[in-house]
Copies of this chain bind each other. A is one copy, B any other.
Amino acid sequence: MQYYSLEDLNNLPSRDRAHFINSCTGYKSANLLGTVSKDGLTNVAIFSSVIHLGSNPPLLGFILRPTTIARNTYDNLKKTGVFTVNHVNENIVRAAHQTSAKYPGEVTEFDKVDLNTEFLNDFKAPYVQESKIKLGCAYTNEYFIEENDCLFIIGAIKHIHIAENIQREDGWLDLEAAKTVSINGLDGYALPHLLERLSYAKPDKDLKSLNKDGA
């Protein structure tokens, strides 16, 4: 085993530390957040920190860094109150990664990176047309994380759009069927393959493998 103390970590070049620490907590979700400004300029940016927060009510959270280039996302969602969360799939990995470039001034990232906007159900924020699982969310709250000046943003899920053949009998989304990717560190994109679904765990009872419908 290799060992690093906090002192070892602090002595690393900052870019190496960033690669290391960004990959040490495991795989991350890969989502594109879509927003629109008051003036109608659309924005799309990749986020690897979107997490499930609760099912009832349906809530998600994500982290916004103080110096992030994704401040446009924040400004827009604060002003309009809405944003979309769109899964990155295998076919749009490069376009999704390119959204992290620091485009100067007023641009529509959708055009720059070759992704298409889609407007659904009169929802004000743009969805990513190429995405197969997309959520329409309302900005709900934010918590200032004083340890490193980040914001933890809370969003309420109001609309869900799913391509055909992804949802199973018991509500579960087959992310492999959607070709949703996961993120390894700052710049690695991985495609997961389902090993198995497992039965609800009970003390002293053997687990069994479930089929994709949850049975």
Contact = CB atoms under 8 A, between A and B. Distances in A.
B6 A158 contact: yes
For chain A, what secondary structure do more than half of its interface residues adopt (helix, strand, loop), or is it mixed? mixed
A58 B21 contact: yes
Interface residues of A, number: 115
Most buried by B among A55, A104, A185: A55
Contacts of A160: 3-4, 9, 20, 24
Interface in A109-129: 112, 120-121
Given A20-B173, A27-B29, A176-B190, 16 more contacts: A1-B163, A2-B162, A3-B161, A5-B158, A12-B171, A14-B56, A17-B55, A25-B52, A26-B30, A26-B50, A26-B180, A27-B28, A57-B148, A61-B145, A93-B198, A145-B154
